[in-house]
Structure 1
């Protein structure tokens, strides 16, 4: 394509190259509340997972034990929706009620604790699939997505919307803000009263959430009340994304990344520092929509993130890309050098290690996009 060197008039935008790749920085999606509710299902990466597709590490018996416990838990959710108040609520906004047995005593949920990459999300999604209820009566989302839902619908409407569910699955249950602690603790308490079963994953035991971040006694008191709702299952093991797999692929040049972006339909191309600036202008609840339709993300000039707020936003984007199986091709520094030593030793270290693990896996996926013979 020939491009004129004559600048376009000031009142007329330049003609876009139809072959040019997409840009994340050009996207500012709006996500209505209805979409937030409708998308509370396992992400595309976990559409087909089941307990039978989970491969326990033979050296970690806790993984096999967890599968058995969760299978039994799912089977136990096959009866009538039990409400502690003797009612069952159905419908998108909780309309329509019928009598139901009183909720059974004891914990109404399971809590999967373990390091990053031991398959917790795989097991949580398998539980969602195995629970004998129609999709409209079970919900699956990250902790961030749950708090965003409350922000979109309001607290009371969220309670009414989710109270008719058989099961609520919460992935990456990490409380980074005392206000969110109170909010979610209260919400889950209301849902337990309504007979909703709960399942959650996290990298930290319920009684230990928040340590190293906040020293407030109120924070720990809220956590202790919340932890009583769960039976804790510890899942030991190493990160399966690195178990028996090669190291992260060698870095590509800016030229290779740019050429691949132009040659790959549905790929985006962005300068990494500019993308980090753009993420600050888009609410994390919209990061999923930010990646809609992308077949690959190409980034030039990857460098260490400058501060903690930027790093946490990047973690959310990495999670959404990983959920959607979007490969990431990059130039610059390798992903294991994104976060400073201070960050990796701080209270959010497990989030950062998870992001490194997931981005490295997506970088392996992206290697197939590069023309053979041009890969480093």
Structure 2
């Protein structure tokens, strides 16, 4: 019988949380040398050159304890904040920096760091991360007041210890939280955090769109179910059942939720109208994308748009403060379903045992 993601109850250990603080498989080979800027977008080349220079600064001899003490007295460490649309190479540059810098460094998404603080306690997390040369934060977002206070304080304390912090986001630092909660009430904290960063604005077109991947491809339900039954390590879920299960699993555990999954099959996919369902599904899509897990999906109403899921997120959702998150998810989901279709028709999937 094919396993379902909704049957899984991941409970990653602290050791697992720490081990996961590395770049995801999709970006394991990302290097500054193979980041290819779009010639029509000078900001991409500028960002590459600045990140390259920053890597050289961090790789320079640090001079032992006395030099570290002098750095602390001279002021907090500066970091880089890469802002721009989705698919312009921010994560590629971030992971390239991680690989270019020697010494102890950590890499995680925003939600992975908030979960780590929850598991360790704030001070212990600061002490642990404070031993790093570099802390990389991908998908930096402030979605609620609690996360705002926690992450702004974490960044200040790590910076005060001389730790370089580099983050990527779809939102400029001073605009974090806009349209999501009463960000003006936390303006002082947000601005104090933003002062620690040099902002690099990276323009460009989503590279997945340049590759011709623009639509979320859907298949007949019977074909999705048959595919799931024929593949080792595949999972099969109804869309609504999966959404219900995601409520009971913390988003920081979505990576563990898809451990050893070769392809995720989802039937009955339909449009979403509420943020609570949509945002959890966005995180799942991000983890599937990071781990290069193909998706094969069918629609709840295939007759409405044969072969293509036209509107996953409602117009109201797309007009909200989370618009960029939703658009990124659509782009990544299109890529994942394209990979799923290629896997299905390649004839390379292993027979189920």
TM-score by length of 1: 0.86
Alignment of 1:330 with 2:263, yes or no, is no
Contact 1:118–1:236 under 8 Å retained in 2: yes
Give the direction of change, closer, same or farther, for the CA distance of 1:336–1:287 in structure 2 (3 Å limit): farther
d(CA) in 2 for partners of 1:216, 1:54: 35
Counterpart selection for 1:102 from 71, 91, 100: 71
Contact 1:296–1:326 under 8 Å retained in 2: yes
Q: CA deviation at 1:105?
A: 4.9
Q: CA deviation at 1:58?
A: 1.0
Matches within 5 A, 1:241-280: 241-248=208-215, 250-280=217-247
Alignment of 1:34 with 2:15, yes or no, is yes
Q: CA deviation at 1:74?
A: 0.6
Alignment of 1:112 with 2:79, yes or no, is no
Give the direction of change, closer, same or farther, for the CA distance of 1:170–1:82 in structure 2 (3 Å limit): farther
d(CA) in 2 for partners of 1:335, 1:55: 31
Residue of structure 2 in register with 1:166 after alignment = 133
TM-score by length of 2: 0.91
Alignment of 1:181 with 2:148, yes or no, is yes
Write the deviation string for residues 131-176 of structure 1: whole angstroms up to 9, x where unpaired: 122xxx1000011111010000000000110111000000011101
Q: CA deviation at 1:217?
A: 2.9
Residue of structure 2 in register with 1:93 after alignment = none
Please identify the structure whose Cα radius of gyration is greater. Answer: 1
For residue 288 of structure 1, give the secondary structure of its aligned residue in structure 2.
helix
Q: CA deviation at 1:250?
A: 4.1
Show structure 1 runs of 4+ deviating over 6 A.
Answer: none
Residue of structure 1 in register with 2:111 after alignment = 144
d(CA) in 2 for partners of 1:79, 1:211: 38
Contact 1:121–1:201 under 8 Å retained in 2: yes
d(CA) in 2 for partners of 1:210, 1:285: 20
For residue 210 of structure 2, give the secondary structure of its aligned residue in structure 1.
coil
Q: CA deviation at 1:370?
A: 2.2
Number of corresponding residues? 339
Provide structure 1 residue ranges, at least 5 long, that are not aligned to the other structure: 1-19, 89-98
Q: CA deviation at 1:126?
A: 0.4
For residue 58 of structure 2, give the secondary structure of its aligned residue in structure 1.
coil
d(CA) in 1 for partners of 2:77, 2:162: 11
Q: Over aligned residues, Cα RMSD in angstroms?
A: 2.0
Provide structure 2 residue ranges, at least 5 long, that are not aligned to the other structure: 301-307, 348-353
Contact 1:143–1:173 under 8 Å retained in 2: yes
Give the direction of change, closer, same or farther, for the CA distance of 1:128–1:277 in structure 2 (3 Å limit): same
Give the direction of change, closer, same or farther, for the CA distance of 1:349–1:77 in structure 2 (3 Å limit): same
Q: CA deviation at 1:79?
A: 3.5
Counterpart selection for 1:209 from 176, 182, 197: 176
Write the deviation string for residues 48-105 of structure 1: whole angstroms up to 9, x where unpaired: 110111111110000011000001101101235589xx679xxxxxxxxxx6542465
d(CA) in 1 for partners of 2:14, 2:66: 26
For residue 143 of structure 2, give the secondary structure of its aligned residue in structure 1.
coil
For residue 102 of structure 1, give the secondary structure of its aligned residue in structure 2.
helix
Counterpart selection for 2:334 from 360, 363, 369: 360
Task: Please state which structure has a larger fraction of its residues in helix.
Answer: 2
